[in-house]
Structure 1
């Protein structure tokens, strides 16, 4: 009888420790999700009408599904090709904004695919995976994808294309981002910077 009581007490103690530890993990998980997803965290909370727990469950599922994805390196010639094509799309914007945005959207989808993310034909899945690894930059890509398919005004398309370049640069550099260390600006790593933000704005006006 004494042995049974001891076993019960041990089980209760372990259960208490597990529950406490789980609460700590969940608490730190919220901070970790904010750090990992950046603006995407706030967007998820807004989409869930301010329900932080629901938003964190959704983001946690994204991490479970895509967190183990390993970004693939790009051969130098492939990286150079993407940089050249992105610059060409920016230059084309002056004459044909809609066509330029469509081409830039397809270019980003292909670049993400070549880095190891889901194919762009499944946009929502690709976006979910990108948000786990580049949450600070995905909104620009989302806006550009919408602009490429809607009858958006020229200014909306220009802004979307400028913002989407953040993800482009994050993907075209060699070193992958981590939740604790956002990617360095392109131009400081091995990849050439496509254009500065100021020059990009001037080229899309």
Structure 2
């Protein structure tokens, strides 16, 4: 085999190996994003219409999230939030509409306490999706019920359902399930 042929074969092999490495990188990223974001991955895919666009969006959420100064809650603060939540739940019996409103505000306060920005529901959802993707749908469903309630379209049973959804989100935010939590 001539030197030119040998060099040509080596170049082709290197190009093929580089292509495999790039493809493997995309496959591994897709698998990681799917695992991390769960149902939010499918939601992003549906909204964006293409895998690449959805994955770009989710990677951007991760970048934005990494800029946050998230905090763990000290035990006293955690206990205070837990007591407040219990009080809100007890209020539901007599004042379901007010209790759901207070639950919504308590969730927002807890997000702020943890270091999440609280402006705009869409931004909250995007940033929460990075670490709380498994409970994010509960937040969306509770918010949807609150919006219906504001229009006078929610029943007491709907409000009870909103409280259940909020409790799931509250418990997730109150706990410290993050990997490598920053103090």
TM-score range, shorter chain: 0.7 to 0.9
Of Structure 1 and Structure 2, which has the larger fraction of its residues in helix? 2
Q: Give the stretch that moved more between structures: 18-27 or 86-95.
A: 18-27
8 A contact 1:143–1:160 mirrored in 2 = yes
Q: Please tell me the root mean square deviation across aligned C-alpha atoms, in Å.
A: 2.8
- Cα distance change of structure 1 residues 106 and 10 upon mapping to structure 2, 3 Å threshold: farther
- Cα distance change of structure 1 residues 162 and 12 upon mapping to structure 2, 3 Å threshold: same
Kindly state the Cα deviation for residue 74 of structure 1 after the two structures are TM-superposed.
1.3
Superposition pairs of residues 21-60 of structure 1, within 5 angstroms = 21-48=21-48, 51-60=50-59
8 A contact 1:93–1:99 mirrored in 2 = yes
Secondary structure of 2:134 counterpart: coil
- Cα distance change of structure 1 residues 129 and 99 upon mapping to structure 2, 3 Å threshold: same
Instruction: Indicate the structure (1 or 2) with the bigger Cα radius of gyration.
Output: 2
Q: Show the counterpart of 1:77.
A: 76
8 A contact 1:73–1:115 mirrored in 2 = yes
Residue from 107, 123, 134 that aligns with 1:136 = 134
Secondary structure of 1:177 counterpart: coil
Q: Distance in 1 between matches of 2:66 and 2:77?
A: 25
Secondary structure of 1:150 counterpart: helix
Kindly state the Cα deviation for residue 137 of structure 1 after the two structures are TM-superposed.
0.7
Q: Distance in 1 between matches of 2:48 and 2:18?
A: 29
8 A contact 1:67–1:132 mirrored in 2 = no
TM-score, normalization: structure 2? 0.78
TM-score, normalization: structure 1? 0.70
Q: Show the counterpart of 2:170.
A: 168
- Cα distance change of structure 1 residues 77 and 24 upon mapping to structure 2, 3 Å threshold: same
Residue from 154, 157, 163 that aligns with 1:155 = 157
Q: Distance in 2 between matches of 1:122 and 1:11?
A: 52
8 A contact 2:146–2:162 mirrored in 1 = no
Q: Distance in 1 between matches of 2:15 and 2:70?
A: 38
- Cα distance change of structure 1 residues 25 and 90 upon mapping to structure 2, 3 Å threshold: same
Q: Give the stretch that moved more between structures: 85-94 or 127-136.
A: 85-94
Q: Distance in 2 between matches of 1:10 and 1:72?
A: 52
